[in-house]
Every structure is written in structure tokens, then in C-alpha cells.
Amino acid sequence: MKINEIYQTKRAQKNPVISLEIFPPKKDGGIETLYEALASLGQISPDFVSVTYGAGGSGGVNETLDIAAYIKQEYGLESLHHLTGVLSNHETMNATLQAIQARGVENILALRGDVPADGDACISADYPLAKNLISDIHAFGGFSVGAACYPEGHIEALSNAENMQHMQAKEAAGADFFISQLFFDNASFYKLMDDARGARVNAPISAGIMPILNRSQVERMIFMCGASLPSKLIKLIHKYEHNPADLRAAGLDYAMGQIDDLITQGVDGVHIYTMNRPVVAQTLLGKYKKQYI
């Protein structure tokens, strides 16, 4: 089933789409641990599970495709295959799309992707922006295509107007839905929604939620994504920074508050960045299982 059809069904029911995100493990042998985690996630039965190219963009299409296909075949859940164009060209991308389609995966999250940190590679001339990749996938056919959006603006975007222009271009190129980057202040997401609808971007937009589990995670996310921290969350981190168990509990509770508010306000969907930890999904989505999933 294509994810755009899931959004259509849930919109008609006036229910949010509930989805999870996982990533291929970096360490050798970690794949077995991931599959164990998937068994727990499968019991929650989210509307779909997205699979990244790996933490920080590492990994590759083969590993991502294996996991995405496994999720669909083993658990009957729809999977969303992340795909970046940054190091690809039209020829290699066509071959990749054929491979994804052959494995029965019907949904792709199209991203420009990050240039490797070693600087040895240049951004693809064919895919300088996500909209170029979205257009090619849409032309290839057979996929529901998702795109990323940024409640506080992409870290490279200079203005909110530019942020909206990118969303407009992605939808015009064929994006069926959007998943937002993580944020910690729901006001940022509501502003994004208002701005997007004002800019005539009508595709569903899911809110991306990542709970704070430790201090180093916070520092990494702020640096990578440019996400800001509300004073309430800063005080929680400071209060529990020397007590990991209490910080994790407080972080999960804060994220639960975000989700409660988002669902109350009638958002199109909530997308949980699980960090491959079943406890995150079980804690945050357990209460909604019977009502929305």
C-alpha cells in the first residue's frame, strides 16, 4: 500500500498517521539486534516504518532496502525507503529505483543528502536539490514519494520564505507527503503548518518527534539540525544531567507531552525517531495503539 493512500484514509477518519523511524546499525553484527528491535516495533503496528541510510547518512541502499523489504514481508507493515541523490546520477538512480521496486517496496523518502565529510565527493549535477530527485522518482512511477520539511528552517536556508519555496517546489515535483525534522517546541511546527498552507502546500505533514535520552544527544542534534531548545527542556536537562535514568524518563515524558498536544490539535501525523530503541516507541505510542493505530 502506498503511504499517500494511508494519509487519505486517516484524514477521512480524522485520525493521525502514526509512524516510526529506524536506521541500519553502524557496527558489524548490529543487524541482529536491529531485527530483534523490529519484532518489538512490529507488535505496535504503526502505519509505516521508515528506514534511513544510517545514522548521519552512513550506510547504503542495499542495507536499507534489505531492512525495508523485511519489514513489509515479515510484519506486513508498509516501509518507507530513504533515498538520497547527492552522489548519484540519472543512470545509477534508475537502477536503484528498479531494485527497490523489484523488492516490493512502494514508498520512498527523497532527500538531497549530505556531502561526505571527507570532501572527496561533490554534489551530484543531476540532483543538486531534493526536488530534482523527487521529480525523477515521480516520473519513474510506481512509488508514493515523501519529502522532508523543517519547522525551524533547513540549516542551510537563509529565510522562512526560502523554506516555503523549497516545500512548494518539492510538492510541485511530486511529493505526496512531508515528514518534519525533529523539533522541541510545538509552536515551531504549528507555524510551519500555517506558513505551508498559506503558501498553498496542501500535502499532509507529519510532525517529527525525538525524545531526549541523554545530554550528548542534545548537543549532537543542535549542531547537526539547528534545533532550538525551549527553556523548560533546558531546565530538565540541567536538573537530570548526572542521573541518566531520570533524564531518559523526563525526556520521554516531555516528548509524550508534545505528542498529546499535537494529536489534540489535529495534526496529519506523528513520526517518532526511535533511535532503534523499542522502549521509545512502546512508551510514546502505547497509549495510542487502540485509538489510532
Q: For the chain, what is the HEC assignment?
A: CCHHHHHHHHHHHCCCEEEEEECCCCCCCHHHHHHHHHHHHHHHCCCEEEECCCHHHCCCHHHHHHHHHHHHHHHCCEEEEEEECCCCCHHHHHHHHHHHHHCCCCEEEEECCCCCCCCCCCCCCCCCCHHHHHHHHHHHCCCEEEEEECCCCCCCCCCHHHHHHHHHHHHHHCCCEEEECCCCCHHHHHHHHHHHHHCCCCCCEEEEECCCCCHHHHHHHHHHHCCCCCHHHHHHHHHHCCCHHHHHHHHHHHHHHHHHHHHHCCCCEEEEECCCCHHHHHHHHHHHHHHHC
| Average pLDDT of span 75-89 | 93
Looking at per-residue confidence, does 218 or 261 come out higher?
261
Mean pLDDT score of the chain: 89
Catalytic residue ranges? 21
What percentage of the chain carries pLDDT values higher than 70? 91
pLDDT in tens, 96-117: 999 999 999 999 999 998 776 6
pLDDT in tens, 160-174: 899 999 999 999 999
pLDDT at 60: 56
